[in-house]
Amino acid sequence: MWYLCVFFHRLLDYRKAEVESLAQLFSNEDQEYQCLQWRLPLHHHPDSPFHFVDLPSEDVAKSIANRSILVKGMYELWGEGGSYEELEECIRNYPDERKLPYLDSNSTFKINVDTFGKVISLQEQTQRIQGLSYIPFKGRVNLKNPEHKFWLMETDDYGASNGLPPMVQKRIFFGREIGGADRKLLPTYQLKSRTYLGPTAMDAEMAFLMANQALVTPGKLVYDPFVGTGSILIAAAHFGAMTMGADIDIRVVRDGRGPDCNVWSNFKQYGLPLPIALLRADNNLPPWRTGLKEVFDAIICDPPYGVRAGGRKSGGRKLMKGVIGPYIVPDDKRTDHIPSTASYSLVECVHDLLDLAGRMLVMGGRLVFFYPVLSEDDNVDNHFPEHPCFKLIATSEQILSSRYSRVLLTMVKTSPYTEDISEAARLKHLDFKENHLKWLEDGNLHSAVFSPTDPQSNGAADHAKFTKEPKPKYRGKYV
């Protein structure tokens, strides 16, 4: 059945991917991933918050709306039109067997008026509600806790200077609310009130989106190999998952800023179950014993790009260059020993991450992680890493600057991990390194993002890359 899905007007490229993931979660987890059917209302721009989506049942629609971060509400549409006359005709023609159960005299209801692109006064809202008198409501009005909620939604006229996606003609919708998002959890988990923070702590909204993409549910085991201060695992724990994390910096996972200001205290702050374990571990040298496979239901992480924090791996510069050989830390110095580390390029980091996920994820498990791209590159799909164990099912781009974007990749494990697959993945990685952008292999993304473009020194060709026609930016488009 088709439902009207109304989104919050932010993170536009993430919206459909989240709904499609949640649709699989609440309909049939074992079903092979399939895209939902979507269509736009008449005269609407693709960036519009109003979309129609075909879902298997009302229960699925309600579950998606209640769990989603970006869905404002899911509605059974009773009518739509370009004017209130068209709307009335459409509502009158809507089947009575669909309407009458919600107009019963023993029920309570409430009508809300909402607008997109403009603000109307309380008096105008009242007039619009009174204009719906042709709908035979027999129940009692209950503004605090009604059994049924109805929404009258109206978009702005074309040509209004409101910084929103263009619409040829305004549209009016009326429908019954199936479910709506609980945005109260975002203020609860906002970073500014978090006990322990680091420079790369994941924003709460994004962390919950990643958890939804990973299909996190109670009882699942979720792992973050770059745990930092635990922002992603906090979102997973909120949805009931068991969590486990690792980081190469032992000072982060063990000490924090004291006994009451560390990763553990972040979980205690929200009353969430503590992680099963926080390991000091190197993504380049995983600590898992030989033969251990298929442990985690999901791996969710934000690998170090080298913008705010560079990637590190064990070894140290002298050891990596062969100046010194491997050494053993004396017993009397092991308690406070901080191992040496060396630079860890993003290409190598992502290859190790895919290999880890291929080995340690259960079949059907999801790997969700961010990956950087340069904004001037139109064909970014050619630069995504691949692995024989995985199928890439969703990409959601977030533009961070005129040069630099990051893409949230969602991958599903579709094949068991074997030594042959490991070798095939290694060969893919070598081909990826050879053909990928030079800045990514060299690990100098920081300079690519922050260094100013100088047409005098870099030449007209390099300057032209950053002066192409910009994408239209609406209010909320690239938040």
**Can you list the positions of beta strands (E) in 117-195?**
140-141, 148-155, 172-180
Q: Is 46 helix (H, G, I), strand (E, B) or coil?
A: coil
For 308-444, where are the alpha helices, taking DSSP H only? 317-320, 346-360, 419-435, 438-442
Please state, rounded to an integer, the average pLDDT across all residues of the chain.
Answer: 84
Give the C-alpha distances (Å, rounded to integers) separating 249 from 12, 42, 279, 339, 348.
35, 53, 10, 9, 18
Q: What is the pLDDT of residue 30?
A: 53
Local confidence band at 462 (pLDDT 50, 70, 90 cut-offs): very low
Residue range 394-400: mean pLDDT, rounded: 84
Local confidence band at 26 (pLDDT 50, 70, 90 cut-offs): very high
Tens of pLDDT along 50-63? 999 999 999 999 99
| pLDDT at 178 > cutoff 80 | yes
Local confidence band at 334 (pLDDT 50, 70, 90 cut-offs): confident
Local confidence band at 463 (pLDDT 50, 70, 90 cut-offs): very low
Tens of pLDDT along 267-290? 999 999 999 999 999 888 888 988
Residue 11: which of 385, 407, 330 has the closest Cα? 407
Q: What is the pLDDT of residue 467?
A: 44
Percent of the chain with pLDDT over 90: 53
Residue 365's contacts (CB-CB under 8 Å, 6 or more residues apart) are 294, 296, 297, 298, 299, 357, 412, 413
How far, rounded to the nearest angstrom, does the alpha carbon of residue 123 sit from its chain's CA centroid? 39
Residue 77's contacts (CB-CB under 8 Å, 6 or more residues apart) are 2, 3, 4, 52, 173, 174, 175
Q: Which long-range contacts (CB under 8 A, 24 or more apart) does 251-260 make?
A: 251/338, 252/198, 252/227, 252/228, 253/227, 253/278, 253/279, 253/280, 254/278, 254/280, 256/196, 256/229, 257/196, 260/195
Tens of pLDDT along 276-331? 999 999 888 888 988 899 999 999 999 987 666 778 888 776 666 666 666 677 88
**Pairing assessment for the beta strands 71-81 and 172-180 based on DSSP bridges:** antiparallel
Give the C-alpha distances (Å, rounded to integers) separating 457 from 248, 430, 460, 461.
39, 32, 9, 11
More confidently predicted of 321 and 25: 25
Q: Are 115 and 155 in contact (CB under 8 A)?
A: yes
More confidently predicted of 268 and 454: 268
Local confidence band at 34 (pLDDT 50, 70, 90 cut-offs): low
More confidently predicted of 208 and 447: 208
- Give the range among 182-186, 302-306, 373-377, 436-440 with minimum mean pLDDT: 436-440
| pLDDT at 68 > cutoff 80 | yes
Tens of pLDDT along 83-120? 999 999 999 999 999 999 999 999 999 999 999 888 89
Give bridge partners of residue 342 from the DSSP assignment.
313
Q: What is the pLDDT of residue 380?
A: 44
CB atoms under 10 Å from CB of 367, counted, come to 27
Q: Are 451 and 405 in contact (CB under 8 A)?
A: no
Sheet with 2-7, edge to edge strand ranges: 38-39, 50-54, 2-7, 71-81, 172-180, 148-155, 108-116, 140-141
